[in-house]
Every structure is written in C-alpha cells, then in structure tokens.
A = this chain, B = another copy of it.
Amino acid sequence: MTQRAPASARTAGRPRSREADTAILTAALDLLIELGAAQTSIEQVARRAGVTRATVYRRFAGKTALLVEALEWANHDHDPGFTGWRDLGHMFADWAAHLAEPRNRRLLRRVNALVDDYPELIGTYRRLNGGRRAAVVRETLERAAGRGELPGGLDLGVVQEMLTGAVLNHLGSHPDDEGPDEIKAYFLAVVKQIGHRPAVTDGGGSI
C-alpha cells in the first residue's frame, strides 16, 4: 500500500506541503483521543500543529472533514501485510496486543462515543475497519467451525456480534493497564462459553 496525500488535500489548487498535512492530521488525531470530537476545535489543531487556522481551512472543509481524514490517515498504514489470522487464538492475541495500548483504547472509546453527534465520523471508521476486518473475522470463525474448534449449530453472525460486544465491554469495564496475556485470556474465556475447544498445537497443548 503506497503512501498517499489526504484526499481533500489532493484537490487543493496549490503546491502540496506534506509536512503541514502530517502535522495537522497528527494534531487532530491526538486531540480527538485526548479531548473527544466535541471538545476539539480547528483553533486547537492549528496551534498544536504550528500552523495558522487559515492553513487548516485551506486543506480541510471543517472539523468533521478533518477528523474523518485523520481517522483515514491513522488507518492508512495499518497492517499493510495483513492476510488473516491462523485461528481464534492468533486473532485474539492480535486484538489483545492492540487493546493493551491505552492510546488505542482511548481512540476506540472516542470513536464509539461519536454515534449520536458525528455519524459521518463513525461511518468512516466503520467503513475502514468494519468492512475488510469484519470479513476476516467471519472467515476465521468459519475456519474454526470447519475444523471442529467451534461446535456445530452456532450462528456465526451472532457470535461475531458477541465478539464485538466483548471488545466494547473490555474497553468500558476493564482497566487500561491489563496486559496482552490477560486480555487474550479474556477473549478465550468468552469463546469457551460458546464451546470453543482450541486445537492442540505442536509442542504447545490446549489451554
């Protein structure tokens, strides 16, 4: 995946300044995480990025457009070589590594908090993370069921919603200092209730 300039910036009729774009998008993402969308202003973004408000407005139509681009940009280099997970244990290890970072947890909570006030923003986030990611989660569940690691007769669409719920519950109810092993164990405990029996791996053994 090649680096590209942010979408709205490419349409501007003036020479590109990647440095200013990067500074603005970084500041916007940081403020979204620290303060939330409602408390983030173009003025604060400009100040933190070290540019004028006019510079921000020349590149982005407004706060919502800027935050949409910041989310796209943050996602841009995410897992460029990602091709899927071997099994549920591998998937949960990946989720746990992500959820063990307090910055990731805060960003996810901020995005989830947008549903009533910034539907465009949450729509962007879901398009980026929901589409391809959701399909890979579903494939991972289907392979686990096909190998007999999940019992027959499960509704995998419902199971997928349960896993989304498990992430949301973890973000809201577990402390931000849980380590990746503990978080992975939480997800394994969840799927154990639906009958998950992990494959015995070479030299490893099941939990």
Interface residues of A (CB under 8 A from B): 35-36, 38-39, 106, 109-110, 112-113, 115-117, 154-155, 158-159, 161-162, 164-169, 172-173, 189-190, 192-195
Minimum distance in angstroms from A68 CB to a CB of chain B = 18
Residues of chain B within 8 A of A161, CB atoms compared: 166, 169, 173, 190
- Closest Cβ neighbor of A188 among chain B residues: B158
Shortest beta-carbon distance from A116 to chain B in Å? 6
Counted per complex, copies of this chain come to: 2
Interface of A is mostly: helix
Is A164's CB under 8 angstroms from B155's CB?
no
Instruction: From the candidates B109, B189, B195, name the one contacting A158 in the complex (CB within 8 A).
Output: B189
Assess whether A159 is in contact with B116, with CB atoms less than 8 Å apart. Answer: no
- From known contacts A109-B116, A113-B113, infer whether A162 and B193 are also in contact, taking CB-CB under 8 Å: yes
